[in-house]
Amino acid sequence: MTGKSSVLVKIPLMKQPKIVYTRSGKVFVLGGTDFADKVVGKCYQVIGTEIKEIAAMNQPRRSFGCYVTNDHIYVAGGLHSSFSATASCEVYDIEKNTWSELPSLPSPNFSLALSSFKRKHLIAVGGTDE
């Protein structure tokens, strides 16, 4: 690092998106809000210095938990467009460019952490419903 910064790729204007990457080096930008404070489900993949729009989440959300594997991105909870907490969960298949619904969390939650246990179970930790 030289102390200088440079723009490698210009990401569409959004507030509070999740930026995640896979172990294979793929980078994704997920959800957040636009500058009119509308919650969005738009998603993008960063490829080199380019960015391309990919399939949008089924449920627009921000402040959600997220867990990434090499071929899937899991999202849980978050805030919907009414800024109310949601319990909904979904998974993105990177190769198929599709989102699928998953079983919901036991209760609505946002600002949570999502992790994996023995690569078989997802665990939601923390967060709030208020």
Averaged pLDDT for residues 68-78: 93
Task: Report domain extents, the chain.
Answer: 18-125
pLDDT > 90 in the chain, percent? 49
More confident residue, 118 or 66: 66
> Which tokens go with 54?
């990919």
On whether the CB atoms of residues 50 and 9 are closer than 8 A, the answer is: yes
Does pLDDT of 1 surpass 50? no
Q: Which residues pair with 21 in a beta bridge?
A: 27
> Which tokens go with 86?
């949601």
What top-level class would CATH report for the domain 18-125?
mainly beta
Alpha-carbon torsion (15, 53, 100, 40), positive or negative: positive
Does pLDDT of 6 surpass 80? no
> Which tokens go with 40?
């969005």
Look at 7-16, 22-31, 78-87, 95-104 and tell me which has the smallest mean pLDDT.
7-16
Q: What is the predicted pLDDT for the residue at 10?
A: 65
- Which of 32-41, 44-53, 71-80, 109-118 has the highest mean predicted lDDT (pLDDT)? 71-80
pLDDT digits (tens, 9 = 90+) for 27-37: 999 998 887 88
Reference 111, options 11, 44, 18, 13; nearest CA is 18
Q: What is the predicted pLDDT for the residue at 111?
A: 94
Helix, strand, or coil here: 39? Answer: strand
Separation in Å, CA 119 to CA 36, 38, 64, 91, 111: 38, 34, 20, 15, 22
Helix, strand, or coil here: 97? Answer: coil
